C-alpha cells in the first residue's frame, strides 16, 4: 500500500536567528519522538495546501510555502499490512498563529517547540528529517 503525505519546516526569525517548529509524538512503543509536522492529503488538496494545513494543525503556526525541500520515503508495518510512505517536505515562512497542539484533529502531536535551526540536528529523532532540516539551513543560508 502507498501513502502520500506532506509537511515541512516552518521558519520564524527571532532575534536574528531562524527557529523551526517541531512536534513531539509517541511512537507505537510509547517513546517520544521529535519530528517535523506532516500528514495526509485531504479531498482534492495539492501537496502545498496539505503541507500548509498540516503545519498549522500540528504546530498552531500558519505558514506560506516558499520552496520544496525534497521527499522522504520509507516502509513500515501495521498489524495487517506493509506500507510504503512518501512524504513531501516544504520550507514555509511563518505568517501567524502561536504554538499549540490543540488544533491537531488526530491528537498525534503531544508537544510543540520552537527550536533554533542550528540546534535542530540534536532534537529531531529521525536521520532523514535531520537531512531535510540541513537542506532548509542551506536554502536559508543561500547555499542551495
Question: pLDDT digit string (tens) for 1-34?
Answer: 888 999 999 999 888 889 999 999 998 889 999 9
pLDDT of 28 reads 81
Question: Can you tell me the distance from the alpha carbon of 71 to that of 89, in angstroms, rounded to the nearest whole number?
Answer: 6
Q: Give every CB contact of residue 138 below 8 A, 6+ residues apart in sequence.
A: 144
Q: Where are the beta strands (DSSP E) in the chain?
A: 2-14, 17-26, 32-35, 38-40, 61-77, 82-97, 111-116
Q: Of the segments 58-62, 74-78, 117-121, which one has the largest average pLDDT value?
A: 58-62
Q: Give every CB contact of residue 142 below 8 A, 6+ residues apart in sequence.
A: none
**Averaged pLDDT, 32-38:** 96
Q: pLDDT category, 77, cuts 50, 70, 90?
A: confident
pLDDT of 14 reads 84
Q: pLDDT category, 143, cuts 50, 70, 90?
A: low
Provide the percentage of residues in the chain whose pLDDT is more than 70.
99
Question: pLDDT digit string (tens) for 84-119?
Answer: 999 999 999 999 999 999 998 888 899 999 999 889
For 6, phi then psi, to 5°, come to -145, 150
Please count the helices (runs of H) and the strands (runs of E) in the chain: 3, 7
Question: Can you tell me the distance from the alpha carbon of 142 to that of 7, in angstroms, rounded to the nearest whole number?
Answer: 22
Q: How far is CA 99 from the centre of its chain?
A: 14
Can you read off the three cell numbers belonging to residue 141?
543560508
pLDDT of 34 reads 97
Helix (H, G, I), strand (E, B) or coil at 99: coil
Alpha-carbon separation of residue 63 from 8, 52, 87, 119 (angstroms): 10, 6, 18, 21
CATH number of 2-140: 3.90.79.10
Place of cell 503545519: 55
Amino acid at each position: 500500500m502507498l501513502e502520500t503525505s506532506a509537511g515541512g519546516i516552518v521558519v520564524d526569525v527571532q532575534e536574528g536567528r531562524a527557529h523551526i517548529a517541531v512536534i513531539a509524538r509517541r511512537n507505537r512503543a510509547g517513546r517520544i519522538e521529535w519530528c517535523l509536522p506532516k500528514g495526509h492529503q485531504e479531498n482534492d488538496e495539492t501537496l502545498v495546501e496539505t503541507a500548509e494545513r498540516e503545519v498549522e494543525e500540528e504546530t498552531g503556526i500558519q505558514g506560506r510555502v516558499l520552496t520544496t525541500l525534497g521527499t522522504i520515503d520509507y516502509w513500515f508495518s501495521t498489524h495487517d499490512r506493509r506500507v510504503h510512505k512518501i512524504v513531501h517536505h516544504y520550507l514555509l515562512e511563518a505568517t501567524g498563529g502561536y504554538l499549540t497542539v490543540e488544533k491537531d484533529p488526530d491528537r498525534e502531536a503531544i508537544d510543540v517547540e520552537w527550536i533554533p535551526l542550528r540546534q535542530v540536528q540534536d532534537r529531531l529523532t529521525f536521520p532523514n528529517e535531520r537531512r531535510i532540516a540541513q537542506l532548509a539551513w542551506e536554502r536559508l543560508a543561500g547555499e542551495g
